[in-house]
């Protein structure tokens, strides 16, 4: 045995040992005691690794029952309430979602002259007819959820909370058409005076009315 071999041999052995140890680690990680999805298993009597889902199981957040999901009460009549408190944030969210998902056909005021309609799609009824002004908020929610005539359901695109927010915002659109400044006693007097001045000015100048955003 040469002097050189004597020197390198322990180093070589160490390297092999380290490699083996590392390889062992890797194998352990690969061979875990787990059942792969839908693989066979002899642990359960039926030989299947997958367990049957117990009857009536509902994925979290996926319960499609009750008025908060359908917008209808037990007599199938639209409800006149929201499943959560009405706040400014809810209405702002509703406005934003309405402008994205509904205004292409119903237009931003809800009169039914959206761009798709101008290009030939069936013209929906205006939200400002007597029948729809008197419809409960659950009616609008239900139409979004289930669709109406040629209008498809928007349930796949718009989650439940956003559908309610849109329905609440349609109420704003409707109210906006008939609201009288004198009825808005909640507004501070200086704010009312400012709006009145704006309205007077708009009436005096010909052209389109100023657009209001809440
Ligand atoms: C692709 C165009 C289109 C879009 C987008 C659309 N709608 Fe409609 N909607 C219609 C049409 C068309 C009708 C009338 C359907 C019919 O009479 O066959 C209608 C009807 C309705 C009605 C029923 C009115 C009645 O006469 O009782 C409501 C409420 C309504 N839409 C709300 C919405 C809301 C809210 C959204 C957004 C989530 C929306 N729509 C998105 C086209 C659309």
> Would 14 be classed as within a structural domain?
no
> Would 119 be classed as within a structural domain?
yes
Is pLDDT of 202 > 80? Answer: yes
The CATH number linked to 141 is 1.10.760.10
Q: What is the 3-state secondary structure (H, E, C) of the chain?
A: CCHHHHHHHHHHHHHHHHHHHHHHHHHHHHCCCCCCCCCECCCCCCCECCCCCCCCCCCCCCCCCCHHHHCECCCCCECCCCCCCCCHHHHHHHHHHHHHHCHHHHCCCCCCCCHHHHCCCCCCCCCCCHHHHCCCHHHHHHHHHHCECCECCCCCCCCHHHHHHHHHHHHHHHHHHHCCHHHCCCCCHHHHHHHHHHHHHHHHCCCCCCCCCC
> Would 64 be classed as within a structural domain?
no
> Would 32 be classed as within a structural domain?
no
Is pLDDT of 154 > 90? Answer: yes
Residue nearest (by alpha carbon) to ligand 1 atom 16? 149
> Would 153 be classed as within a structural domain?
yes
Instruction: Write down the mean pLDDT value for the chain.
Output: 88
> Would 199 be classed as within a structural domain?
no
Number of domains in the chain: 1
Is pLDDT of 152 > 60? Answer: yes
> Would 112 be classed as within a structural domain?
yes
Distance 4 CA to ligand 1 centre (A): 88
Across the range 71-81, mean pLDDT stands at: 96
Q: Range of 139's domain?
A: 75-80+88-179
Distance 102 CA to ligand 1 centre (A): 7
What global pTM score does this model have?
0.73
> Would 67 be classed as within a structural domain?
no
Determine the residue of 94, 148, 162, 170 to mutate for testing ligand 1's pocket, defined as the one with the most ligand atoms within 8 A of the Cβ atom.
148
């Amino acid at each position: 045995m040469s002097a050189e071999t004597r020197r390198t041999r322990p180093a070589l052995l160490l390297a092999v040992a380290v490699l083996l140890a590392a390889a062992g680690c890797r194998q352990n990680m690969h061979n875990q005691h787990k059942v792969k999805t839908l693989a066979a298993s002899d642990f359960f009597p039926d030989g299947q690794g997958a367990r049957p889902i117990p009857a009536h199981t509902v994925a979290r957040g996926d319960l499609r029952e009750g008025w908060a999901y359908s917008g209808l009460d037990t007599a199938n009549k639209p409800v006149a309430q929201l499943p959560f408190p009405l706040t400014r944030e809810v209405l702002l969210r509703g406005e934003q979602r309405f402008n994205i998902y509904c205004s292409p056909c119903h237009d931003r005021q809800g009169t039914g002259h959206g761009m798709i309609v101008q290009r030939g799609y069936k013209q929906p009824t205006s939200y400002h007819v007597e029948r729809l002004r008197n419809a409960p908020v659950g009616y609008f929610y239900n139409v979004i959820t289930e669709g109406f005539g040629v209008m498809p359901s928007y349930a796949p695109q718009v989650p439940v909370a956003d559908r309610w927010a849109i329905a609440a915002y349609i109420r704003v659109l409707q109210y906006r058409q008939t609201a009288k400044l004198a009825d808005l006693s909640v507004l501070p007097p200086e704010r009312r005076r400012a709006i009145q001045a704006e309205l007077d000015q708009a009436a005096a100048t010909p052209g389109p009315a100023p657009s209001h955003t809440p």
